[in-house]
Structure 1
Amino acid sequence: MFRTKQGRRRGPALALVAAASLMYALTGCSAERVTPGEARAEAGTDSGNRKGGGGASAADAVDCAAVKCIALTFDAGPGKDTPRLLDTLKEKRVRATFFLLGSKHVDRYPEVVKRIAAEGHEVANHTWSHRILTDLDAAEVRDELSRTQDAIERITGRKPTLMRPPQGRTDDTVSDVSRELGLAQVLWSITAKDYSTVDSALIRERVLGQAHRDGIILLHDIYDGTVPAVPGIINELKRQGYTFVTVPQLLAPGKAEPGVIYRPEKDD
């Protein structure tokens, strides 16, 4: 959380309160929303008071305050093309964040889930059956998230610390349950809308056209056009000077706090 200590960071704290008030008025969600840059800056002055999982280890640390970072994330897998995607990421030496779907995905491809974790990618939660969480009561939200938490833990030995709500829809109930389960909420700032096209060139063009420092790219490794687009996306963004990181690396030295919503802004 952003706190004022002996007068420090009063301005940023008040700005966040104002932003949170506006967000509540528009969406009914009063949960704190934090950009990667804010997470890093706050950790630099108040790191002793921050809690929550999902931080990058010292061995994996990247200074995204100094380096032009971007996070590649994939939703709703694993699927039949995920092994080919993992081959590409390994070849390109890129780590990504996978927001995995439980039903018909985690339970269907446990060996792929195990490989995702073993190859150093961040394994995260995208619910059990992709129900819109804002349409559910607290018990139903808890079931959607906890079933996937348990399934991933059985395979990898570790529960995720990050989740992404389907369609990015969240509210106070979702935030409260996420906090209870130790999950931070991660949204995005770059989307190819790859669910609407199988044109890999178009997917690549859409991502490159929106790319920005501290951005979080949303793709889906379950659609036919997406995995073939990834090599070109990686090659061009590396050429432009971007460093690919996982979401925890993007926030480091900050750590993702349960219940908090993390979303980049293009003017970070």
Structure 2
Amino acid sequence: MPGKKTALGARIAAALAVVATLSLALTGCSADPLTPADARSRTDLDGDGKSGKPEARTGSVDCRQARCIALTFDAGPGKDTPRLLDILKEKKVPATFFLLGRNHVLKHPDIVSRMAREGHEVGNHTWTHKRLTDLDADGIREELSRTQDAIQEITGDVPTVMRPPQGRTDDQVSEVSRDLGLAQILWSATAKDYATTDPALIERRILDAADRDGIILLHDIYAGTVPAVPRIIDELKKRGYTFVTVPQLLAPGVPEPGAVYRP
């Protein structure tokens, strides 16, 4: 019996080690990700109560008091993005868009310009959606810097937030991101909308996972996503949520370059 217990304990320990290894691969790096609450407690203000970003970007919402949630969209812009922007404008909801460079930013500069003009946060989702953890430092830098440059040329602003494809990051990705002034933003709720075209299912998955300080991950390039957005917004507003961009969620803290944020 003692031998069996020892063997069982060894198998449990081995299983936990595998889980820890997978968790490390997916979350990023050896340091624990920061939560929005962590960011708000790590303020480094200029002395005037401002974070240094324009007031239009951070807004006046205080997520230390309000029940905040951030709506984010990856891998666009695409053909359905203008309709999404119409919905967000109608419902007075700001969002954060993590954009792909090649075939998206370059193909739809007018949509990127509109995002920025209408008060949304424009972030970086790499140039070609390569997994950054599969690249060397030069490859990571190229994937991120080319999209940085393309967005800046269109909007006049350099992105301060990025989302690594598949949420995969590590110490090397964090180091390059820090050099480029980019914070890494993960998520707390996803509908896996890449695998379904059913708006009702997308809506249900998001509403089931929504929580205070949450970061919702959707994709505005898939057919079922944009039709699901109005009901997601309406229901979460009924539940008392205030929609904010990712920088607003972290304010009065600011996204720290290289850091990983996950609710």
Q: Distance in 2 between matches of 1:209 and 1:190?
A: 9
**RMSD of Structure 2 on Structure 1 (CA):** 2.0
Residue 227 of structure 1 pairs with residue 226 of structure 2: yes
Q: Distance in 2 between matches of 1:132 and 1:182?
A: 19
Q: CA deviation at 1:89?
A: 0.1
Amino acid at match of 2:34: V
Amino acid at match of 1:90: K
Q: Distance in 1 between matches of 2:214 and 2:52?
A: 18
Distance change >3 Å, CA 24–CA 207, structure 1 → 2? closer
Partner of 2:126: 127
- Is the 8 Å Cα contact of residues 24 and 30 (structure 1) preserved in structure 2? no
Partner of 2:40: 40
Partner of 1:13: none
Q: CA deviation at 1:57?
A: 2.2
Q: Distance in 1 between matches of 2:227 and 2:247?
A: 26
Amino acid at match of 2:196: T
Instruction: Name structure 2 gaps, 5 residues minimum.
Output: 1-19
Residue 57 of structure 1 pairs with residue 55 of structure 2: yes
Q: CA deviation at 1:34?
A: 0.6
Q: CA deviation at 1:42?
A: 2.5
Instruction: Name structure 1 gaps, 5 residues minimum.
Output: 1-21
Amino acid at match of 1:201: A
TM-score (norm 1): 0.85
Partner of 2:4: none
Deviates more, 1:90-99 or 1:59-68: 59-68
- Is the 8 Å Cα contact of residues 77 and 221 (structure 1) preserved in structure 2? yes
Q: CA deviation at 1:33?
A: 1.7
Q: Distance in 2 between matches of 1:124 and 1:189?
A: 18
Q: Distance in 2 between matches of 1:94 and 1:245?
A: 7
Partner of 2:91: 92
Residue-pair matches, total: 238
SS at match of 2:237: helix
Partner of 2:141: 142
Residue 213 of structure 1 pairs with residue 212 of structure 2: yes
- Is the 8 Å Cα contact of residues 54 and 161 (structure 1) preserved in structure 2? no
Q: Distance in 1 between matches of 2:235 and 2:39?
A: 27
- Is the 8 Å Cα contact of residues 109 and 154 (structure 2) preserved in structure 1? yes
Q: Distance in 2 between matches of 1:80 and 1:56?
A: 30
Report 1:162-201 matches (<5 A).
Answer: 162-201=161-200
Amino acid at match of 1:262: Y
Q: Distance in 1 between matches of 2:169 and 2:21?
A: 12
Q: CA deviation at 1:38?
A: 1.0
Q: Distance in 1 between matches of 2:53 and 2:189?
A: 22
- Is the 8 Å Cα contact of residues 24 and 30 (structure 2) preserved in structure 1? no
Q: Distance in 2 between matches of 1:217 and 1:56?
A: 24
- Is the 8 Å Cα contact of residues 31 and 175 (structure 1) preserved in structure 2? no
SS at match of 1:209: helix
Distance change >3 Å, CA 157–CA 206, structure 1 → 2? same
Partner of 1:74: 73
Larger radius of gyration: 2
Partner of 1:18: none
Q: Deviation string for 1:98-126 (max 9, x for gaps)?
A: 00000100000000000000000000000
Distance change >3 Å, CA 255–CA 113, structure 1 → 2? same
Amino acid at match of 2:198: D
Q: Distance in 2 between matches of 1:260 and 1:242?
A: 26
Amino acid at match of 2:208: G
Partner of 2:16: none
Amino acid at match of 1:260: A
- Counting aligned pairs with the same residue, the percent is 68
- Is the 8 Å Cα contact of residues 45 and 52 (structure 2) preserved in structure 1? no
Residue 255 of structure 1 pairs with residue 260 of structure 2: no
Q: CA deviation at 1:61?
A: 2.2
TM-score (norm 2): 0.86
